[in-house]
Structure 1
Amino acid sequence: MTNTDTEPKTIAKDLVARAQSADIETVDTTFAELTTLRIGGRPAGVIKCLSPEALRWVVSELDATRTPLIVVGGGSNLVVGDGPQVSELVVVWATTPDSVENGSHAAVWNHGAAEGHSVTEGHNVTEGHVAMDKSTGLVRAYAGVEWDQLVAATVAAGLGGLECLSGIPGSVGATPVQNVGAYGAEVSQVLKRVQLYDREAKTWEWVQPEDLDLAYRYSNLKFTNRGVVTAVEFQLRTDGLSTALRFGELARRVGVTAEEATADARRPVAEVREAVLQLRAGKGMVLDPEDHDTWSAGSFFTNPIVEGEAARDAVIAAVRQRCGDEEADSMPVYSAGRSAVGDNADKGRTTTRSLCAPTSSESLEESPERSPEENPVERYKFSAAWLIERAGFSKGWHVEGNTVASLSTKHTLALTNRGGATSADIVKLARAVRNGVWEAFGVELEPEPIWLGATI
């Protein structure tokens, strides 16, 4: 049975007392303080873990008593309700520069060394939380490390592959779960393997990328609670150059011509990181406590993907009818690869919908699934931000009479808390934008954040 006889706060305090570890502590806080969107009520209880071994011990102890829990890192991809719906005990997974270095840390790093994945001694950064081998480009980081701290460290070491992902808030552990991406790069391109604590088997396990069903903003870790990410390994370039620069806005910023982009042009990693940070700051996508445009969950909607030329052409036709030939002919449409027969490529992605607009949002119906015998079809990706703007939602737009939640004044893809917003305010705004794009173009936007105690 689930442990309902004891209050989560009491459970948390008892665990910390029994642990007698400097790496485990209780925290009195709210979800508004734990998330970058700054909304959400007070959790039933919070335990902060500062090492993988501390996390493993806390999770295993809570599982033994069937206590519901959620693991939170940077809180940058969470939309949490304000009411008492969230009953789970929150386990915050974080590292700090002064966290205790002990045998458990060494055990985590050494796990896998016999498999040929050791990191050369002497290349550790931030007291064992990040380990880098500059000669091979192998990088290993605890899941609780702040993501941009890791990116900055790799760039400073002259390693390439993460620089396009600079400035993204959150923790390292979330990046393979969401297959984080930006400016033409994705974590999947440099991911070597992920260490999980298997909650059922009670063991550490290194998982290969091919076992994660990685796709656009998706992995099979996203909707399962079986494994908790404790460490991540990346394989980076050692020549000091960036990943190939194909994303137009970034390529232009660092002086890459169209001809160079087709030839996989690269630039020094430090130059690319600086350009990315400038671009993100210009869109309110670099956290700043004084800037309400950064009080968000980042890009709120994923770029929608449709399958087949007919679906692509239907969207273009809808744009042409509403916005005219010039907009339809210049709208950004990208290849998203081909659908794979019998794989999991569609999981967690935008559902392909009938493009005949319904009379109400409740009448949306999913398209029939393809049988495994059908041939793969081409996928096409549209810009969510572009569609939102053409549907009539400008920067700073808000629901009439509700100014505490609005689109960012710098970027239409970010839903922001202007101060004092509740989850209901964010939900109302998200629904207005989603329904407006559907009514305009027959495309349903899917929210990227994880929802807890609230739903769109």
Structure 2
Amino acid sequence: MTRTAGRTGDPLLLLAGGSNVVIGDDGFTGTAILVRSRGVEVISRRPDQLIVRVQAGHPWDGFVAETVAAGWAGVECLSGIPGSTGATPIQNVGAYGQDVAETISSVTVYDRSEGVVRDMPAADCGFGYRASIFKHNDRYVVLSVDFRLRPAAESGPVRYAELARTLGVSQGDRVPLTAARETVLSLRAGKGMVLDAEDRDTWSVGSFFTNPVLDAAAWAKLREVSATEPPGWPGEGGRVKVSAAWLIDRAGFGKGYPGGDVPVSISTKHTLALTNRGSGSAAQLLGLAREIRDGVRDRFGVVLHPEPVLVGCTL
């Protein structure tokens, strides 16, 4: 089907779980392909590591649960994230101190330009913060992902402060894999980030905005206009990743905004989640997102960017 669409020039939309996609109210004109491949296979094993190949359509959280049950460390803090495994390298999915770029060894793709299947080592995937060579790029179709995991009963070092506090350990400590997974699931559920059909705070695409990464000058300017110390995480080259949730809240868009009986609103549990309360449209959701983006820009001079993929619509 992908080859046929490539020959005819028809627009092509690949979907697996669709959990990180916003589609415009007019829908998509073209060919939609649903990725439904399944399977987890150990293709290489050594005493200190194993390579596990996961088909693109395999549910991500199902795979994480399998790794924890099998005693394979490396992705346990990525529990509870919806969607498929094939989507994880596209977004360089991350949470609670881990991201998939740390454990991906290679990605098998169908190259639509060349008409061939190729294996792309992690170094060629252009991984960055919530970014990769695959994002906003129709050339590659992810077929499977190889992960380099570690046989262990304990997690990797716990990096995320909130997770460490909840576990009752210090940052850098290790905990049993099951404890890491169960605690992450509990934290995510408390923020409305685990789907519950009865809880409209979970009717979202997760975090709508990425945390902005500022250079030294922009970080200094933000500190100046904030009149306080914004939460930030230093990175390479003097750049600092800033909490988008903090910016949104301090710009006047708190949990539950705008309040009342509205079709779309910020989640009452998590400032970064924009939720459909049951009758909302894509246009209304994007209207709220624009209001928040513009409000943060006007208050702090920082521009927020959407995390989900937008199809047939723009912000």
Q: Does TM-score exceed 0.5, indicating one fold? A: yes
Describe the SS at the equivalent of 1:421: coil
- Counterparts of 1:405-444 in structure 2, within 5 Å, are 405-444=264-303
**What residue in structure 2 maps to residue 367 of structure 1?**
none
- Tell me if 1:141 matches 2:51: no
- Tell me if 1:92 matches 2:34: yes
**What residue in structure 1 maps to residue 239 of structure 2?**
379
- Counterparts of 1:205-224 in structure 2, within 5 Å, are 205-224=118-137
**What residue in structure 2 maps to residue 168 of structure 1?**
81
Question: Match for 2:176 among 261, 268, 274?
Answer: 268
Distance 2:260 2:197 in 1: 25
**What residue in structure 2 maps to residue 188 of structure 1?**
101
Distance 1:402 1:380 in 2: 38
- Tell me if 1:392 matches 2:252: yes
Larger fraction in strand: 2
**What residue in structure 1 maps to residue 209 of structure 2?**
301
**What residue in structure 2 maps to residue 131 of structure 1?**
41
**What residue in structure 1 maps to residue 196 of structure 2?**
288
Question: Match for 1:152 among 49, 65, 69?
Answer: 65
- Judging changes above 3 Å, is the alpha-carbon distance between structure 1 residues 306 and 402 closer, same or farther for their aligned structure 2 residues? farther
**What residue in structure 1 maps to residue 225 of structure 2?**
318
Describe the SS at the equivalent of 1:194: strand
Describe the SS at the equivalent of 1:236: strand
**What residue in structure 2 maps to residue 333 of structure 1?**
232
Describe the SS at the equivalent of 1:455: coil
**What residue in structure 1 maps to residue 305 of structure 2?**
446
How much identity, in percent, do the aligned residues show?
Answer: 47
- Higher Rg of the two aligned structures: 1
Q: CA deviation at 1:401?
A: 8.0
CA RMSD of aligned residues (A): 1.5
Describe the SS at the equivalent of 1:173: helix
- Counterparts of 1:206-245 in structure 2, within 5 Å, are 206-245=119-158
Distance 1:247 1:318 in 2: 27
- 1:296-350 deviations in whole A, cap 9, x for unaligned? 1110000011112x32121011111xxxxxxx13x31111222xxxxxxxxxxxx
Q: CA deviation at 1:243?
A: 2.0
Amino acid at match of 2:36: A
Contact 1:402 1:425 in 2 (8 A): no
**What residue in structure 1 maps to residue 21 of structure 2?**
78
Q: CA deviation at 1:384?
A: 0.4
Distance 2:250 2:119 in 1: 45
| TM-score normalised according to structure 1 size | 0.66
Amino acid at match of 2:292: V
Equivalenced residues, count: 312
Distance 1:59 1:437 in 2: 40
Amino acid at match of 1:336: G
Contact 1:160 1:236 in 2 (8 A): yes
| TM-score normalised according to structure 2 size | 0.95
Describe the SS at the equivalent of 1:196: strand
- Tell me if 1:67 matches 2:67: no
**What residue in structure 2 maps to residue 356 of structure 1?**
none
Amino acid at match of 1:143: A
- Counterparts of 1:192-203 in structure 2, within 5 Å, are 192-203=105-116
Amino acid at match of 1:335: P
Amino acid at match of 2:41: A
Distance 2:23 2:246 in 1: 27
Contact 1:146 1:171 in 2 (8 A): yes
Q: CA deviation at 1:402?
A: 7.1
Q: CA deviation at 1:420?
A: 1.1
Distance 1:234 1:255 in 2: 29
Describe the SS at the equivalent of 1:419: coil
The gaps in structure 2 that reach 5 residues or longer are: none
Describe the SS at the equivalent of 1:76: coil
Amino acid at match of 2:96: Y
RCO higher in structure (CA 8 A, sep ≥6): 2
Q: CA deviation at 1:223?
A: 1.8
